Amino acid sequence: MPSLIPAFSCSFDVTKNLQITLQLLEYHLELRSAFGTSHSSTTHRKNALIKISIHYDHEIIINNNYSATSQQSLPPSSSLLLFEGFGECGLPPKKPNCYLADFDDIKCYFEQYCKHVERDIKSDKIQTLFNLDSKFTQEKDHLLSQMFDECFTETCGGSQDQYFSTLKQELSKLSTATHCEDVASTTCATQRTEVLVTPLVLLHALDKNEYVDQYGKPHPEFEHCAQCVIEMAILDLWSKIVSKPLHAVIGIPAPVGKFSFYTAALNEDIQEIVKTAKLGLSKTKHLKIKLDSNIDKGILIVKTLLDTYEKEYGVSGDMTATKWSIDANAAWTPELSIEFLHRVKKEVPCFIPYFYMLEQPFPISLDSYTDHDELSIIKNKWIQVKQEYENEGILIFADESVNTFENIPVICPFIHGINIKLEKAGGIRGALKTARIAQSQYHLKLWFGCMVSSRLSCTCSSHLMALSEIGGDLDGDLLVTESSQAFENGFTWRNDMTLNTGSMYIGPQHGEIILQSNQMGIGVERKF
């Protein structure tokens, strides 16, 4: 059974009939093997899980647009569970300027959020939206439109119709839907209004209130991670209410022809790396290999994995269709980066056709270079690294250096693309804004990654994969034992592997991400 430990919970009456419950839980994940990077190695993670539930106190009038996904009885016995949404954020060991949140930080933020929600719900402005005795006035329509634009148009950084237009259309129907002739129709319209507006109120409370850290400092450094997990639960809830997959609610297509890489984590025992890589190759032909500053060992790891792949799986056709990446996790210098490339070309030349991308070889931040001339020199060195790799057809992506679009200008001259993770960007809306600016202003390629997490968070990120160049690495749930998983279903990995003359043949579609069109919201089902 998954290990979920309640940490904080609160419930509010939104109207006399509708209640919401907000709950934060410790989400303990056991890893299949040690997950090592250049700065840490772990076998267990404590992630944060948020659950948001909407309950109704009396009989629900079933209608064509909004039907409850579950109507199990909850205390009190007359309360029906209408909808529930879930959010997860991965919490790796803290690292300055990079991994900024632990569970206590999320709890601190979530407790403040619950207080903001309670206060906002009681305000006259919000209660106007839920007034059962009055028709929707022009003032209410204006308020809904204003709140929506504040939550989406401004936050996503796009035009009014670029993202989440489905939700705006559903909200715009409410003013006409309440003008009904009979009691049953009026009750039905009232329920629709209460259920559909509630997620907007929850999202507005997240965006338009100020938060502090444990010491009273505003805009805590862990804010993006906390925003991510709360927003994910709200958007999962809202998507289920309108009976659409999350990507359709966002306004982007399901991913087609997009692949996920599998991470072969760093380990002292190279055979352990091979073991985990073989697990990954059962799901995808694309590998991400974690290395540190030990270039000798790095070359040996690459050679061992490549030998295993070509001997046990066989290679035919276009080798460039199989793409592997190297992730240095900010552990390299320009000199080490050049040395690695030159040694690969000399000692493992057959790796070059596979070598798709080098991720984060440079430091997380260049702030330590306070001297302008020194900073200019180091930037030029990294530009030279980019050029050398580019000459071999290899891309360079930034990961830890880019949290949001604000970090792009400094790093842009020596990268081809960025790795966007929800926890870094502040959630889906922040990821969309970062993606749009990266592409439109800086002409960068996009990659979507994840923290070590369950299939809830990984599947959520998969809804953005259509925006990527090739895909990303959404393998977090493969790193986790099945008994730790609190959710099932979600995206699947296309299996294009066949046995051919004694060898496993990996076909061109092996590892493609598939989202089921009949899965609403994020698309996972809870097991608890």
Integer Cα distance of 486 and 310 in angstroms: 36
Measured in Å, how far apart are the chain's first and last C-alpha atoms?
Answer: 8
Distant-in-sequence, close-in-space partners of 411: CB < 8 Å, separation ≥ 6: 362, 398, 401, 402
Task: Give the residue among 112, 108, 125, 103 at the shortest CA–CA distance from 210.
Answer: 112
**138 or 401: which carries more pLDDT confidence?**
401
Does 70 have pLDDT greater than 60? no
Q: Is 507 helix (H, G, I), strand (E, B) or coil?
A: coil
Tell me the per-residue pLDDT of 9-25, one tens digit each, with 9 for 90 and over. Answer: 999 999 888 999 999 99
Percent of the chain at pLDDT exceeding 90:
74
Separation of CA 257 from chain center: 19
Phi, psi of 86 (to 5 degrees): -130, 145
pLDDT band of residue 318 (cuts 50, 70, 90) is low
List the chain domain ranges: 3-250, 259-526
Task: Return the CATH superfamily for domain 3-250.
Answer: Enolase-like, N-terminal domain (3.30.390.10)
Q: pLDDT band for 62, please (50, 70, 90 cuts).
A: very low
d(CA 56, CA 81): 7
Q: What is the mean pLDDT of residues 166-191?
A: 70
8 Å CB contact between 330 and 38: yes
Whether a cis peptide bond, with omega within 30° of 0, leads into 76 is yes
- CA distances, 338 to each of 297, 363, 382, 394, 430 (Å): 16, 15, 10, 13, 34
Q: What is the mean pLDDT of residues 489-512?
A: 88
Supply the pTM of this predicted model.
0.93
For the cut 60, the answer to whether the pLDDT of residue 212 exceeds it is yes
pLDDT of residue 132: 56
Residue-wise pLDDT for 445-489, tens only, equals 999 999 999 999 999 999 999 999 999 999 999 999 999 999 999
Q: What is the pLDDT of residues 137-168, one digit of tens each?
A: 677 888 899 999 999 987 776 655 689 999 99
Q: State how far Cα 96 lies from the chain centre.
A: 21
* Mean pLDDT in residue range 250-265: 96
Structure confidence at residue 506 as a pLDDT band (50, 70, 90) = confident
pLDDT score recorded for residue 184: 54
Give the pLDDT score at 74.
34
For 339-368, what is the mean pLDDT? 95
Domain 259-526, architecture per CATH: Alpha-Beta Barrel (3.20)
Report for 153-162, 381-390, 508-517: range of highest mean pLDDT: 381-390
User: What pLDDT was estimated at residue 131?
Assistant: 72
CB 71 within 8 A of CB 60: yes
State CA 251 to chain mean position distance: 16
Strands 513-514 and 492-493: antiparallel
Q: How high does pLDDT run on average in the chain?
A: 90
Give me the pLDDT at residue 316, please.
Answer: 53
Nearest to 419 by CA among 353, 348, 372, 361: 361
| Beta pairing partners, 53 | 21, 84
Residue 141's pLDDT is 83
- Which residues are CB-neighbours of 27 under 8 A, at least 6 positions away? 2, 3, 4, 46, 47, 48, 49, 88, 454, 486
* Whole-number pLDDT of residue 413: 96
Average pLDDT over residues 59-85: 53
Helix (H) or strand (E) holding 278: helix 270-281
Q: Which of 113, 117, 103, 242 is closest to 171 using CA atoms?
A: 242
Report whether pLDDT(71) > 50. Answer: no
Q: Say what the pLDDT of residue 75 is.
A: 39
Quick check: 182 pLDDT over 60? Answer: no
| pLDDT tens digit sequence for 90-105 | 999 998 888 999 999 9
Using the structure block, give the residue that is written with the tokens 């996790």.
329
| pLDDT at residue 524, rounded to an integer | 98
CATH fold match for the domains 3-250 and 259-526: no
Rounded mean pLDDT, 28-38: 90
Q: Is residue 73's pLDDT more than 50?
A: no
307 pLDDT tier (thresholds 50, 70, 90): very high
Mean pLDDT for 215-233 is 96
pLDDT at residue 114 above 80? yes
Which has the closest alpha carbon to 402: 392, 414, 391? Answer: 414
- Pairing, β 41-56 against β 79-89: antiparallel
Cα maximum dimension of the chain? 81
